[in-house]
A and B are shown apart, each in its own frame.
Chain A
Amino acid sequence: MTSGLAFRRFAFTFGIAFAVLYVIALARDLALFTVYPSLGVVLFGTHHSKDVADPAIGFVAPAMYWYGWTATAATGALVLGFLAMLLPDRSTWRFGLAWVCVTPVLAMIACIYLTLPWFRL
């Protein structure tokens, strides 16, 4: 039962933290790694074409950040989830239940806001 409650705290914390951290990673461009699919190369951290050669290189070797943003959010959420598991069982997590429903919706709205530039081109 104790492990069940601990996993429950992990699951709710992970869900809330993942949504928040994903939006932060997207807004601040914090990809844990950058993927260059045409080259078959993965670089640690966020890399833009202008950092290494020339902006035109982006057409030759496009970079992908989605995997890195997801990994950033997952890593941070894992750490926070494990920390939540260490809390005492008597801690109430009713608030977590509500936030695990509200936070992803807010995160999706934030993602829409951050994606708006695509629709103005």
Chain B
Amino acid sequence: MTIALLMVHGLVAVALLGAITHQTLAAWAPVRARPGSFLGRFRTVPSASFANAIVVLYLVSALLGAILYLYFRVDVRPALERDGHWPSLGLFDLKEHFISIGLGLLPAYWVLWRRPCADESRRMRAVLTAVIAFVVWWSFLIGHFMNNVRGFGQ
């Protein structure tokens, strides 16, 4: 059951990672990129349409992570503490903190993409998207790192 949840969590995280990376790059790429270029093709995708999917994927991923965290605390963390993986546990704690802060940003993120006002700068929207992208990338990499911290076959 735990392994199945972890797999689903990982798959949702991959989808979220792809969507937020695409949107972030599209938001930061130059507006007048050459039409045939990679960035030019990136910008032709309507980034705002990603917002709903990103909010849903973030919530689902956070929920699955919150469930798995219970198993992690009981079954995994004691072994990491015993082996002295303190910096790894610190990185994991940061992941949890960043995810919570990202959760709080979701309403503002959704408003900026789905109901933008004329007086709101696109740069601010891009900054907020980049912050959430950082949270997602950090969480993905640290989650993957924690999964492998004890090494293959241990």
Classify the secondary structure of A's interface with B: helix
Contact in complex: B108, A112 (CB < 8 Å): no
Shortest B148–chain A CB gap in Å is 19
Residue B94 is within 8 A (CB to CB) of chain A in the complex? yes
Contact in complex: A100, B77 (CB < 8 Å): no
In angstroms, Cα B96 to Cα A73, docked, is 14
Mask: chain B, 80-107; 1 = CB below 8 Å from A; 0 = not: 0000101101100110111011111101
Contact in complex: A19, B69 (CB < 8 Å): no
The segment from B24-32, B41-49, B109-117 found at the interface with A is: B109-117
Residues of B contacting A35 with CB < 8 Å? 70
CB-based nearest A residue for B134: A108
Known: A12-B108, A19-B104, A70-B103. 17 other contacts (CB 8 A): A8-B117, A10-B107, A14-B107, A18-B101, A18-B104, A22-B100, A64-B70, A70-B100, A77-B104, A97-B124, A100-B108, A111-B98, A116-B90, A118-B89, A118-B90, A119-B90, A121-B84
In angstroms, Cα B104 to Cα A107, docked, is 12
* A119 touches which of B69, B87, B101, B111 (Cβ 8 Å): B87
Shortest B81–chain A CB gap in Å is 9
Residues of B contacting A69 with CB < 8 Å? 100
CB-based nearest B residue for A37: B70
Residues of B contacting A70 with CB < 8 Å? 100, 103
Residue A44 is within 8 A (CB to CB) of chain B in the complex? no
Q: Size range of the interface on B?
A: 35 or more
Contact in complex: A11, B101 (CB < 8 Å): no
- Count residues of A near B (Cβ-Cβ below 8 Å): 44
Contact in complex: B104, A108 (CB < 8 Å): no
Q: What 4 pairs between A and B have smallest CB-CB spacing?
A: A18-B104, A118-B90, A11-B107, A121-B86
Contact in complex: B73, A108 (CB < 8 Å): no
Contact in complex: A66, B101 (CB < 8 Å): no
Tell me which residues from 101 to 154 in chain B have a Cβ below 8 Å from any Cβ of chain A: 101-105, 107-111, 115, 117, 119-121, 124, 127-128, 131
Contact in complex: B94, A112 (CB < 8 Å): yes
Residue A90 is within 8 A (CB to CB) of chain B in the complex? no
Residues of A contacting B35 with CB < 8 Å? none
* 23 A–B contacts from the bound complex (CB under 8 Å): A8-B115, A10-B107, A11-B110, A11-B111, A12-B108, A14-B104, A15-B109, A17-B104, A18-B101, A18-B103, A22-B104, A62-B73, A64-B70, A64-B73, A73-B104, A97-B120, A100-B108, A101-B127, A104-B104, A104-B131, A111-B101, A115-B94, A118-B86
